[in-house]
A and B are shown apart, each in its own frame.
Chain A
Amino acid sequence: MIDRLRDLVVRLTSPLVWRLPGHAPRKLEGFARAEAGSRIDLLAAAHATTDVGRRARYLRHALDETRHAAMFARRAGELRTARGLAPAGPPQADTEDLFARLGEVGFLAFVHRGEARGRRQFEVYAAHFARRGDARTAALFEGILADERVHEAYTRALLVELCGERGATRAVRRAGWWAAWRGWRRVGRGLAHGLYAATMTVVYLALAPLAWLPLRLRARRARRRWLTAGGPPAGAA
């Protein structure tokens, strides 16, 4: 239900959002970051799994993600150059330790779900750019779509191999709930961050009268560049 709603939103909004100034390279850079993060999670899975066949699948998938990240980053760079914007540099990725947190079945279900969602999203974008006559960006999404379909299929096949047809369906459903919970927590973190920033700004202003203390200390220290350290020698027993 949530997935179908999200697909609908993507379909309805993409003609508008891709036209926002500077949005296209930023969005592609976001995809590049996501692919680079996925690469790290897949490499971790390749290290952690006990089966050499699955290790090979995860490694191959990680290599695809590396290539996708580079493709997205390259196209984003081209669009930035075309619009006279400064280059953004290579994608910086992070990881959520998904394999360690979810276990192999949960990890596979999560990846399968993500690949399916990505495939549906990229189908919309490929069609959108083809309609707009942007053959290069359309080809980028088409090229990556082919891999996404393979990833979607193999992760499902591995899930079925590990826990049967019904078990696989249940695992994907659980991954959906976990992703929704993660999204909820992210919203909470965002709100908390805003509240925290506001509170700390008030604290900062309240502490302002104390600012003269460090200023005085710094002025005194600046007169003597070498400061003599106190305390006993380190390392001695």
Chain B
Amino acid sequence: MAAVLGVSGTYHDAAAALVVDGVLVAAIQEERLSGIKNDPALPRQAMQACLARAGLTAAALDRVVFYEDPYAKLERVVASTLGNFPRSLRQFPRAMATQLGSKVWVIDQLADLLGVARAKVGHVAHHQAHAASAFFTSRYPAAAVLTVDGVGEAVSTALWHGRDRALTCLGEVHYPHSLGLLYAALTAFLGFEVNEGEYKVMGLAAFGTPRFAAELDRVIHLADDGSFELELSYFGYLADPELGFGPRLEELLGPRRTPYRPWDLAGSADDRRYADVAASVQQVTERALVGLARAARARTGADALCLAGGVALNAVANARLARAAGFADVYVHPAAGDAGGAVGAAILGALELGDPRPAALTTAALGVDVDAGAAADLARAMGLTVTTSADPAVDVATRLDAGAVLGFCAGRSEWGPRALGMRSLLASPRDPDVRDKLNRAVKRREPFRPFAPAVLAERLPDYFAGTADDLTPFMTTVVPVRADAAGLAAVTHVDGTARVQSVTATSSPALHAVLAALAAGGAPPIALNTSLNGAGEPIVARAVDAIGFLLAHPIDGLVVDDLLITRGPA
């Protein structure tokens, strides 16, 4: 029996995860504690928070596992930059400064940071960590596993066969051919920030038609065996990773969009063209993923598919995969991006030490607790009104039904980029004006971005064309809204779908109680559920952040466990 700490970081979305005696005890992304969105620094606070959760000190750790091989990564960077001589002249000094200046020493840095022996710190391969995060937290005894992202050390896509406690790699696609980098290049082309704006491309796609799909077929060649190859002359990242796309892509699709310019899909022909580009890249990505998934099914014969890697956060593509690739079940790790590598690394370390495979993940509440007492003290010190509710679920349900927008903090914070009822902003799903107000005044984000509904799992089929499955608890898929379902205007995207979350008493007990109270009061057991964070900020984790959010945004109140905190009288 062992205690193993998994760590990801140094690129983006640093995180730590702790497995003790085969149980995933905690998993925390550093940004939630540091306040820096997508914080890439080694997760000092997250590591300490994981250890504190288990009541351990670093001295009690049997192993620390980093989610990537820093030496293999250095090799790829050197080979890639040299291979692009002389175009990479500017990139080489910068890349070497980052690699040799810090990244290649990460194992020693972790040992120093934790005060453990260097021999206790090891690493696994990037995609191996992704694959482990997906398969070993699924409920499947055997599954095909696909890991798809920008790039790890050298691999951008990998196909695995998971059986019980083992993962076997069946094939890899190597950098520079990468679906993640294709999507990232188009994200940059559309004026969004890479590693942050990919969700926006997915949301925007629903407003366009894929009329550039034929053009994009020249950019990516899909093979019958599921693999793919990029036409590299359209991309700029070989010479400079900050240049996702090259001039040829602009010749193909027209000029790039100026970043941060306000969107006007109704009035601007240019913006409608950009929506069409988004729809096209979405369609091409989905085709590529379906091809990969079919290859995975053919090569493994498995009935279940697990996915991880940043591309697996594409909920629209996941929905299509689930329909088109012939698998009975599909599961996506809730933190499918690089943060999730920490969980995979920790599990791989634990398995190697002989611990049992962890139980299937049934909740994303793996983070830090919110301290209601501290919240009450701070709220009072700041002149806010604090009331204790005898039945918080009923109180919240009543207020939501009356049109209130409430911050909602309950128990431990979520693992992954989705707020799943532990650090959420809740509202009624009925009124589209609420959606517009949230986009404009609270989240300060693009008007085309949809909000997601949270629904009682057993009532999901009453409102959506589907049933709760392995994707819906973690909001990693979209489902069509039923034509006869009324009162869901604020959570129905323009294409008639919703990124629904099915809620059970296990997955999110406090939110489940609220939805049950809504149902008991005669309302649909559905709430608009979005993340509790301001523009450009990570989702809040602790009481201080939540109260700061309340004070900085025009919402009606903040619920922290059984407390209701408001600006004026409750």
Residues on A facing B (Cβ under 8 Å): 39-40, 43-44, 46-47, 52-53, 55-56, 59-60, 62-63, 66-67, 86-91, 93-95, 193, 196-197, 200-201, 203-204, 207-208, 210-211, 213-215, 217-218, 221-222, 225-229, 231, 233-237
| B63 CB-CB contact with A under 8 Å | no
Whether A53 lies near B381 (C-beta < 8 A) is yes
Which of B85, B174, B551 has the most A CB atoms < 10 Å from its CB?
B85
Pick the most buried of A59, A235, A237: most chain B CB atoms within 10 A of its CB. A235
CA distance A62 to B551 in the complex (A): 11
Q: Is the CB of B352 within 8 A of A225?
A: no
Q: Are A226 and B36 in contact (CB under 8 A)?
A: no
**Which residues of chain B are near A59, meaning CB under 8 Å?**
378, 382, 544, 547-548, 551
Residues on the B chain within 8 Å of A47, using CB: 542, 544
Please tell me if the beta carbons of B79 and A226 are within 8 angstroms of each other in the complex. Answer: no
Known: A217-B79, A237-B352. A43 touches B167 (CB 8 A): no
Given A193-B97, A214-B79, A208 and B544 contact (CB-CB distance below 8 Å): no
Give the residues in chain B near A43, CB-CB below 8 Å: 35, 544-545, 548
Which residues of the partner chain A approach B141 to less than 8 Å between Cβ atoms? none
Question: A residues within 8 A CB of B80?
Answer: 214
Q: Which of A55, A87, A228 contacts B170, CB < 8 Å?
A: A228
> Shortest Cβ distance from B560 into chain A, in angstroms?
15
- Asked if B79 and A56 make an inter-chain contact with CB atoms under 8 angstroms apart, the answer reads no
Complex Cα–Cα for A8 and B70 (A): 49
CA distance A224 to B97 in the complex (A): 33
Determine the distance from Cα of A98 to Cα of B223 in the docked complex, in whole angstroms.
53
Complex Cα–Cα for A105 and B285 (A):
54
Q: Is B255 close to A, CB under 8 A?
A: no
Residues of chain A within 8 A (CB-CB) of B500 are: none
Tell me if A200 and B93 are in contact (CB < 8 A): yes
Taking a contact as CB atoms under 8 Å apart, the answer to whether A94 and B36 are in contact is: yes
Q: In the complex, what distance in Å separates the CA atom of A66 from the CA atom of B549? A: 11
Tell me whether A235 and B136 are in contact in the complex, defined as CB-CB below 8 angstroms, given that A87-B258, A95-B34 are known contacts: yes
Most buried by A among B82, B177, B347: B82
Cα(A213)–Cα(B81), bound, Å: 12
The answer on a CB contact under 8 Å between A93 and B544 is: no
**Chain A to chain B: the 9 pairs with minimum beta-carbon distance, closest first:** A214-B83, A225-B227, A229-B169, A200-B93, A87-B260, A56-B381, A226-B171, A214-B79, A211-B85
Nearest B residue to A53, CB-CB: B381
CB-CB < 8 A to A235: which residues of B?
A: 132, 136, 165-167, 347-348, 351-352
**Which residues of the other chain, A, contact B301 by a CB distance below 8 angstroms?**
none
- Nearest-CB residue, chain B, relative to A217: B79
Residues of chain A contacted by B381 (CB below 8 angstroms): 52-53, 55-56
Does any Cβ of A come within 8 Å of B354's Cβ? yes
Residues of B within 8 A of A62 (CB): 548
Sample of 16 further A-B pairs with CB below 8 A, known A66-B534, A234-B132, A235-B348: A39-B35, A86-B260, A204-B82, A208-B82, A208-B85, A211-B84, A211-B85, A214-B83, A217-B79, A226-B172, A227-B172, A234-B125, A234-B131, A235-B167, A237-B351, A237-B352
Q: Assuming A86-B259, A211-B85, is B93 touching A201 (CB within 8 A)? A: yes
CB closest chain-A residue, reference B171: A226
The B316-372 residues at the A interface (CB cut-off 8 A) are 347-348, 351-354
B535 within 8 A of A: yes
Contact A200 B167 (CB under 8 A): no
Q: Are B544 and A229 in contact (CB under 8 A)?
A: no
Residues of the B chain whose Cβ atoms lie less than 8 Å from the Cβ of A67: 552
What's the nearest-Cβ distance from chain A to residue B106, in Å?
19
Shortest distance from the beta carbon of A59 to any chain B beta carbon, whole Å: 6
Beta-carbon contacts under 8 Å, B57-103 to A: 79-86, 88-89, 92-94, 96-97
Alpha-carbon distance between A227 and B158 when the two chains are bound, in angstroms? 9
24 contacts across the A-B interface (CB closer than 8 A):
A39-B35, A43-B35, A55-B381, A56-B378, A59-B551, A67-B552, A87-B259, A90-B535, A95-B36, A196-B93, A203-B92, A208-B85, A211-B85, A214-B83, A215-B83, A217-B79, A225-B177, A225-B227, A226-B227, A227-B173, A228-B170, A229-B172, A235-B136, A235-B348
